[in-house]
Amino acid sequence: MISAFPEGFLWGGATAANQLEGAYNEDGKGLSVQDVTPKGIAGPITEMPTEDNLKCIGIDFYHRYKEDIQLFAEMGFKMLRISVAWSRIFPNGDDTEPNEKGLAFYDGVFDECLKYGIEPMVTISHYETPLHLAKTYDGWKSRKMIDFYVRYATTLFERYKDKVTYWLTFNEINSILHAPFISGGILTPKAQLSKQDLYQAIHHELVASAKVTEIAHQINPKFKVGCMVLALPVYPMTPSPDDMIQTLALDRSNLLFSDVHVRGAYPAYAKRLFKENGIELEILPEDTTVLKNTVDFVSFSYYMSICETSKDVERDIANILPGVPNPLLKASEWGWQIDPKGLRYVLNTLYDRYQKPLFIVENGLGAIDELVQDEQGAYTVKDDYRIAYLNDHLVQVEEALKDGVDVLGYTSWGCIDLVSASTAEMKKRYGYIYVDRHNDGTGTLKRYRKQSFYWYKDIIASNGASL
């Protein structure tokens, strides 16, 4: 069988520190916004970490990363996407000196990856703003955040310049539109956050992202820096021109982020968006210069598509962003609509728009798994539903490759079961590896290979030919 996947395609898996490391207060780590959100993105903010916050222990990757990376290596991973917990390195965020124990932990993780020939990809900020920055500065609303973030990212670039090549500046940067606390560390309640403040915070993040892209390239010209957006293809609900115009507007609200990252300036349509919403951004002259430091590639998460209509109807929350459900698509147990062809569509539209290499850094099915014994008596999960989901999506990646799209790699989300982001539970599993931990906090934390583990191993070994 001939594979459409190019040689050197980066197959692997993706994770985030706050969802798997645990050890939330060990070795000098400070608190982050995750430590006070036990119920996930839409849930309440607690004063201090509470016992029901599953992220405090996570899946204990902090102490078990060697075992986990060995399992990833067994599947043949070429890449592992992790994030660095900002508050492990700068416990308060505005500290002047980094925490050596935090830095040493990631040295260990990267060394372990490299031992097996696994290339690490690092998300610098994955919904883990130090809590102190949220409480003291209201997160990215403040321009001061740019300096704190630059200091933090520069520390990582210098420390790991010979171990890490691929960097992502902000996870799903456009999610700040709907989750300002988790995504942007903005403590002001969403309902009271003005569009002016929200877009000023976005501007600060965009400047910070461009600034560290510049620094990264100075520190190591071989570094590849990407932006990371939540990709959500929007289909018009009907052929009505009004629906189409509305679709265009919704699409642009998300595309604005990658447009700035790739083109180095705000797009023409931003002018009207800002004017009609009474937004007057404070853009310093140096910001305009900094923004010109564009990314090397565009990465994105893809889970589902949504519809848009000009009618005034209820919107569901699709992943983190609101959308109108598509009547033609089935949904996961969490209501996320399954649309493999939407991935081909996203790959094509982003490539047509930017002609930049693309990277699918998240995709997967969150499902309830049952640990059972196989014919030989070994414990496993018969997750044919997950295999079907991933296979269907990868077939569409193959189609996009045939369409001529330049795709660098694919790291499926939550390659080992971890705590979910939106609802902060264990029950919603994405992994090839089952972790014995449950919503009530019980479990041995033992790891088990699911059926999808062997399926993915074959896919990687055949470079996609066994799809």
Shortest Cβ 293–ligand BG6 spacing (Å)? 24
171 binding ligand BG6? (CB under 6 A): yes
Q: Is 417 in the site for ligand BG6 (CB under 6 A)?
A: no
Size of residue set near ligand BG6 by CB under 6 A: 15
Q: Does 246 bind ligand BG6 (CB under 6 A)?
A: no
Taking the least distance from each CB to ligand BG6, the nearer of 98 and 180 is 180
Q: Which of 172, 243, 287, 308 binds ligand BG6 (CB under 6 A)?
A: 172
Enumerate residues 277-306 that contact ligand BG6 by CB under 6 A: 301
Interaction between residue 34 and ligand BG6 (CB under 6 A): no
Written in H, E and C, the secondary structure of the chain is: CCCCCCCCCEEEEECCHHHHCCCCCCCCCCCEHHHHCCCCCCCCCCCCCCCCCHHHCCCCHHHHHHHHHHHHHHHCCCEEEEECCHHHHCCCCCCCCCCHHHHHHHHHHHHHHHHCCCEEEEEEECCCCEHHHHHHHCHHHCCHHHHHHHHHHHHHHHHCCCCCCEEEEECCHHHHHCCHHHHHCCCCCHHHCCHHHHHHHHHHHHHHHHHHHHHHHHHCCCCEEEEEEEECCEEECCCCHHHHHHHHHHHHHHHHHHHHHHHCCCCHHHHHHHHHCCCCCCCCHHHHHHCCCCCCEEEEEECCCEEECCCCCCCEEECCEEEECCCCCCECCCCCECCHHHHHHHHHHHHHHHCCCEEEEECCCCECCCCEECCCCCEECCCHHHHHHHHHHHHHHHHHHHHCCCEEEEEEECCECCCCCCCCCCCCECCCEEECCCCCCCCCCCEEECHHHHHHHHHHHCCCCCC
Q: Is 97 a catalytic residue?
A: no
> Measured from the CB atom, is 354 or 413 closer to ligand BG6?
413
**Per CB under 6 A, 366 contacts ligand BG6:** yes
Report the residue number, 74 or 425, with the smaller CB distance to ligand BG6: 425
Of residues 88, 428, 429, 437, which one binds ligand BG6 by CB under 6 A? 428
CB of 14 to ligand BG6, least distance (A): 8
Compute the least distance from the CB of residue 364 to ligand BG6, in Å. 7
Please, which residue, 130 or 364, has the CB nearer to ligand BG6?
A: 364
CA distances from 251 to 230, 231, 269, 293 (A): 11, 9, 12, 24
Q: Per DSSP, what are the bridge partners of residue 360?
A: 300, 410
Q: Least separation, in Å, of the C-beta of 411 and ligand BG6? A: 11
Question: Does residue number 447 form part of the binding site for ligand BG6 (CB under 6 A)?
Answer: no
Q: Which of the ranges 112-120, 236-244, 417-425, 448-456 carries the binding residues for ligand BG6, by CB under 6 A?
A: 417-425
Nearer to ligand BG6, 237 or 416 (CB): 416
Q: Please, what is the minimum distance in Å from the beta carbon of residue 413 to ligand BG6?
A: 5
Measured from the CB atom, is 81 or 159 closer to ligand BG6?
81
Query: With respect to ligand BG6, which residue has the nearer C-beta, 125 or 200?
Result: 125
421 binds ligand BG6 (CB under 6 A): yes
Binding of ligand BG6 by 319 (CB under 6 A): yes
Contact with ligand BG6 (CB under 6 A) among 10, 16, 71, 347: 16
For ligand BG6, the binding residue among 71, 113, 118, 320 (CB under 6 A) is: 320
Please pick, among 100, 362, 375, 425, the residue that the annotation labels catalytic. Answer: 362
137 or 170: whose CB is closer to ligand BG6? 170
Cα dihedral across residues 299, 301, 305, 309: positive or negative: negative
Q: How many residues does the chain have?
A: 467
Q: Judge contact between 178 and 237, C-beta under 8 A.
A: no
- Torsion of Cα atoms, 166 then 173 then 249 then 365, to 10°: 80
Minimum distance from CB of 40 to ligand BG6 (Å)?
7
In angstroms, give the least distance from the CB of 204 to ligand BG6: 20
Contact 357, 296 (CB under 8 A): yes
Q: How far is the CB of 183 from ligand BG6 (least distance, A)?
A: 9
Active site residues: 362
**Residue ranges that bind ligand BG6, judged by CB under 6 A:** 16, 19, 171-172, 301, 319-320, 362, 366, 413, 420-423, 428
